[in-house]
Structure 1
């Protein structure tokens, strides 16, 4: 029963990532016709994050792998939907941004817990670097990898 509950919890998290990504896309003024695809990008990114974590990766490696997946998907959607890659990438990255880490870093700093603040701050910086590297790697790949050749 525990395995089934974990799957249900993971599915709920992916659904929440999907919906929250769409909500962010609305705030970001993404084109209405792209909202579903922005949500798909965020949901799949979060799914990869959860799967990587379940397979034993830490939060930094999971963030990196999830960023690779959603950046790849963003580029693919960009070519197939004829929309800027930023529409999908910026919205899709939203669930992975370490906002809680930034909060807890500041909280622990102001509460005088310097060791915890340093620990959370370093982890947050590592996640941010992993996201930047994952995005940069995929964005530097040649365009022919993301679209079909015309016949």
Structure 2
């Protein structure tokens, strides 16, 4: 069990640092960079746990992780009064199948048609899953996020 906890902590920290770095490159406001990093770390951790411990496939894991990350980004956007894209675009950074895109291009160039088709299909499926995760996360009415934030702020002032 300690190994599992250490692995989870390492995955969270590395994904958070990578997303934090991307937020800086993306020119996110300094005051929001840490929250952008946390958003990416949460999305990656959900993805990682679903693949390695819940036996989900890559596509389902990307869909669920992106949906959760989108909801978290929307909560932050309302709470911090910023555009949701600030947290969402930086937060999906760890989930984007960059290696899949690289290997798809590599197999195309090396004329390995079978590997190209296989990796290209997998990469496209993951990218589509990310899009649908965002759609599902944004399908929740905005008024619910405002009510949630108002309820939390009201509870903290009592």
Q: 2:25 maps to which residue? A: 27
Gaps of 5+ in 1: none
Cα displacement (A) at 1:49: 0.4
C-alpha RMSD of the superposition = 1.4
**Residue-by-residue CA offset, 1:26-83 (whole Å, 9 max, x unaligned):** 0111111111110110000011101111201001000001001100000000000000
Q: Under a length normalisation based on structure 1, what TM-score does the superposition of the two structures give?
A: 0.93
**Any residues of structure 2 matched to 1:3-18 within 5 Å, and which?**
3-18=1-16
**Residue-by-residue CA offset, 1:94-150 (whole Å, 9 max, x unaligned):** 000000000011111111211011100000000000000010121122112213347
Cα displacement (A) at 1:6: 4.1
Q: 1:144 maps to which residue? A: 143
Distance 2:87 2:106 in 1: 32
Distance 2:118 2:22 in 1: 29
Secondary structure of residue in 2 paired with 1:125: helix
Gaps of 5+ in 2: none
Aligned residues: 149
